[in-house]
Structure 1
Amino acid sequence: MGSACMTLLALMALLFCLFAPAARAQVMDNNIEAQPEIRVATPLPPKRDDDITVPAFNTPQAVFPTGFGALSWLRKRGVNYLLSNTNEFAGAITKPTKGFPTYKQGASNAGQTAMSLDVNWEQILGMRGFATHVITVGRYGTTANRMFGDWLNHASEDYGGGGNVVVHLVTAYGEETLFGARLSIAAGRLGEMANFESSPLFCNFQNGSMCGRPKAATDNPYVSGYPGAVWGGRIRGRPQRFIYLQTGAYAAEEGIYGVAQHRTGFKYNGATIHGVRLPFEAGWEPVFQNKFPGHYKVGAVLMTAPTADNYRDASGQPYVLTGRKPAMKRNTYGAWFMMDQQLLNHYHDKKRGLIFMTGFLYNDASVALREWETYAALIDRGIFRSRPYDTFGIAFTYERMPHGVQRTDALLLHGRHSAPYGSMPNHATGIQRHASVLEVNYAVHVARGIIVQPLFEYFVRPNGQGNLRNAALLGCKTMVEIF
């Protein structure tokens, strides 16, 4: 698709956003992928209620809300079924860097069909406080960023990890809720990022440096982020209404995003587990003046699985020069701070207003590709009086590569034909130092359960390299909540 045509489509979509009639409530951050994050981000009610056992399941507004009567019947009996499709298109409007025959100015499309099944076993069998949660996806398509040489941040977050199969198991776990929702214990096939370093607000955006979670959170291949899952468990306690403390243990499993081991997500091979990840997080969720909610969290994680050093071998020398394999390091770590805060309301409506987000993530510099990442975003919902659920978003992320990565790239570039490990890591064609991604979007509610979001993405120093030309993309994200 030509850039002129894409520009015209984007302008038409924007005009539709501004002048189309308002639809009923549905927002981009209330979807199947965000269900675990929503459960984390929901504070206790103002008054203590020990009758709360299984918290109510989330039911986003959908095209067929009752499922022709069948879903209403099931929900009254403790079974909640959701089905949705998210599609993400992105196309470059700038030409790629000259001198790379495989790079091109192109467009891509990626997406997923997701299913969620929640069962309240207290309601069905009298098992007080117990529920199970299952999420599956079927993913398709590709992502445009690799066409211009970027392998750090996907232009379409819904690309990859799903095995290119109709049904890929994301999560399947049981959850016990005790003491009026003040204690929650979960175990089974879990994704660490579904509970830690998480926020449902991230997927108001499409690019992979922001959507799902900031990319530095999943910098290590052992981290289980959507749609990957491992055996694990977590426990979360709420000593006070607006405060939670949580910790967990997750298997550090090799190849959780690869086709060989986890194409369908149903292959449970203990031989690929090489350690454990132990995260801890503390959160504060105030509601200022009873109308401005916020979420503040700090956390850290320790991992015992061996991870390759990005510069040195076992003797402490650059592995590029000695020809030996990189040293394997155990007991690596990461840490984070994240926050979002609603700053104002529109038209005296608590559900409409401006939200500010920011955060900082740090990884063990000796093994990381991204030593640290910071981000900032604004999300403004219902800015136009006649469009209460339309959402404007702007987000900026910055990623910094550690000195070890930069030194290894420099050594390989100066002697890549003679070095035993001459191929560049991380698909690099230059020295990887830092990278940034900007996204601006506007999500419009076209009809019940349907959202269309035209957007603009701008990649600064693709793949973290100064030798690659910045890239601009136009795109469109759609979400259809079917049931």
Structure 2
Amino acid sequence: MSKFWEDVQKRWIKHGVSVVLDYTSESAMALNGGGGSRAAYAHQIGAQLDIDWEKLVGWHGFRTHTVFINRAGHSLAKDFGDQSVNGLQEIYGGNADIGIKFVYVYATQDLMHDRMQIAFGKMPVNIDFSASPLYCTFMNNMICGSPKTLRRGTGGFANYPGSAFGTRIRYWTLHGVYFQAGLYGSNPDLTTPKYDRSGFNWSLDRYRGVYIPAEIGLIPSFGKDNLVGHYKFGFAYDSTNYSDNYWDVNGNPLALTGVAPRQKNGRTQVWLEGDQMLIRNGSGPLHGLYAMAGLIRNDAVSSPYLYQYYAGFVDRGFFKARPKDMLGIMFTTTTVSPAVRATQNLLYARGSRKLPQNASFPQSQVTAIELSYVIHVCEGLSVQPDYQHIMRPNLQSNKKDIDAVGLKIHAVL
């Protein structure tokens, strides 16, 4: 970062204006597994504007947040026929291969001596619900941002870089204990060309219902080293109509009749997630060894995926000589809905090789194991070598496992 830009930022922040520019690239190369291209590159260039209106004009507790991005590149996972929640490069996707994508703009208002906060605007659900700064330690897309079956399981769970109009209220009942709930428009076509790739379409014509998430969180701290944990239980309901995975409108297996699927009103989701610092390596909130785990369950009747579960470790400052480096190890598995698999089995038995969920063989589950190390090069720049092993790509047991190496570069101004 140049001295001039650093001085400009300090002056702006003093008056409540924060501007962050960043660049992230993710390159991946497959070592085996068949498929098409052996390597792929994707990037994101982002611009974020945060304004503290209390510093700027004296409006106590009011802040606004805006983000624009540019994404481009190629998905290596798709070259191997994997269009599921697995993505070897998390920065790819969101239908954001476009010059400028408007991601979100929303405001927050603190109330009751900062015990309550209200947010409203056009925003992703996952900036508040099922969120963790540890998720994007990893380059695979299964959990970065949030566990991806929440988005793929229900259209109302607007996931970055998508956003939806909505509001969220959070209340700290006790120190370290909070409850939050939200109300968002549910748009099953979010981030697709059917709606708006650029994010500048603010119309409500594609909204089909409302998405209502609620979450209880606990943030305990243990011992003299202040070993911090984050635990959350969430539940959500989407009022949109979705197609049944197995039955047609007449109550017969749709795979046998070819008749339109029965429509089911509403989907539910549940998530239970947590992380706990086990060893402290420094004074910062992430400086230590964290254990993390989670479980997500979707509606099997109309969601493509039933379960996702993950577990891992993230350790920042393990080497005393490298206090800002970070090591991550992660395991995550996603299972298909039994209703989807039943439909796929019927179609496959009849000779079809073009099955629901972009499959060519009845699906079961996909598992990713990842090892990643973030090297802090200098202030504002990190380089991250990465290794991934993918079992049953696209949840298909007939696909070869993939071993891939990657490199993530992140620069911030």
TM tier, shorter chain? over 0.9
Give the CA deviation at 1:307.
1.0
Out of 373-382 and 64-73, give the one that drifted further.
Answer: 64-73
Give the CA deviation at 1:477.
0.8
Q: Which residue of 2 aligns with 1:89?
A: 27
Give the CA deviation at 1:146.
1.3
Question: Which residue identity is paired with 2:64?
Answer: T
Give the CA deviation at 1:347.
7.3
Mapped partners of 1:426, 1:351: distance in 2 = 37
Q: Which residue of 1 aligns with 2:234?
A: 299
Q: Which residue of 1 aligns with 2:103?
A: 170
Gaps of 5+ in 1: 1-62, 97-102
* Paired residues for 1:68-467 under 5 Å: 68-96=6-34, 103-152=35-84, 153-219=86-152, 220-290=154-224, 291-346=226-281, 352-416=287-351, 423-467=354-398
CA-atom RMSD, angstroms? 1.6
**1:76-106 deviation per Cα after TM superposition (whole angstroms, max 9, x unaligned):** 111111110111111100041xxxxxx3251
Give the CA deviation at 1:348.
8.6
Mapped partners of 2:318, 2:6: distance in 1 = 34
Report SS of the residue matched to 1:262. Answer: coil
Larger helix proportion, structure 1 or 2? 1
Mapped partners of 1:167, 1:349: distance in 2 = 34
Give the CA deviation at 1:178.
1.1
Give the CA deviation at 1:70.
1.9
Change in 2 beyond 3 A, CA 1:442/1:122: same
Question: Which residue identity is paired with 1:206?
Answer: M
TM-score of the two chains, using structure 2 as the length reference: 0.96
Mapped partners of 1:349, 1:80: distance in 2 = 21
Q: Which residue of 2 aligns with 1:469?
A: 400
Give the CA deviation at 1:122.
2.1
Give the CA deviation at 1:457.
0.6
**1:249-284 deviation per Cα after TM superposition (whole angstroms, max 9, x unaligned):** 010013211134222111012110100000000000
Higher relative contact order (CA 8 A, sep 6+): 1
Change in 2 beyond 3 A, CA 1:248/1:462: same
Contact residue 354 and residue 360 of structure 2 kept, 8 A: no
Contact residue 28 and residue 404 of structure 2 kept, 8 A: yes
Contact residue 416 and residue 423 of structure 1 kept, 8 A: no
Change in 2 beyond 3 A, CA 1:350/1:303: closer
Question: Which residue identity is paired with 1:372?
Answer: Y
1:478 aligned onto 2:409: yes
Report SS of the residue matched to 2:195. Answer: helix
Give the CA deviation at 1:369.
1.4
Give the CA deviation at 1:231.
0.6
Mapped partners of 2:372, 2:241: distance in 1 = 40
Report SS of the residue matched to 2:5. Answer: coil
Mapped partners of 1:190, 1:321: distance in 2 = 41
Change in 2 beyond 3 A, CA 1:65/1:168: farther
Q: Which residue of 2 aligns with 1:48?
A: none
Report SS of the residue matched to 1:273. Answer: coil
Change in 2 beyond 3 A, CA 1:122/1:349: closer
Mapped partners of 1:272, 1:317: distance in 2 = 29
Contact residue 106 and residue 123 of structure 2 kept, 8 A: yes
Contact residue 138 and residue 328 of structure 2 kept, 8 A: yes
Give the CA deviation at 1:71.
1.6
Larger strand proportion, structure 1 or 2? 2
Aligned residue pairs, count: 410
Contact residue 94 and residue 105 of structure 1 kept, 8 A: no
Mapped partners of 2:56, 2:126: distance in 1 = 30
Question: Which residue identity is paired with 1:70?
Answer: V
**1:393-449 deviation per Cα after TM superposition (whole angstroms, max 9, x unaligned):** 1000011112111111111112245xxxx8411110111011101110111011111
Report SS of the residue matched to 1:259. Answer: coil
Give the CA deviation at 1:166.
2.6
Mapped partners of 2:337, 2:48: distance in 1 = 39
Mapped partners of 2:130, 2:3: distance in 1 = 31
Contact residue 163 and residue 258 of structure 1 kept, 8 A: no
Mapped partners of 1:149, 1:351: distance in 2 = 36
Change in 2 beyond 3 A, CA 1:170/1:376: same
Out of 353-362 and 117-126, give the one that drifted further.
Answer: 117-126
Change in 2 beyond 3 A, CA 1:125/1:455: same
TM-score of the two chains, using structure 1 as the length reference: 0.82
Mapped partners of 1:105, 1:167: distance in 2 = 27
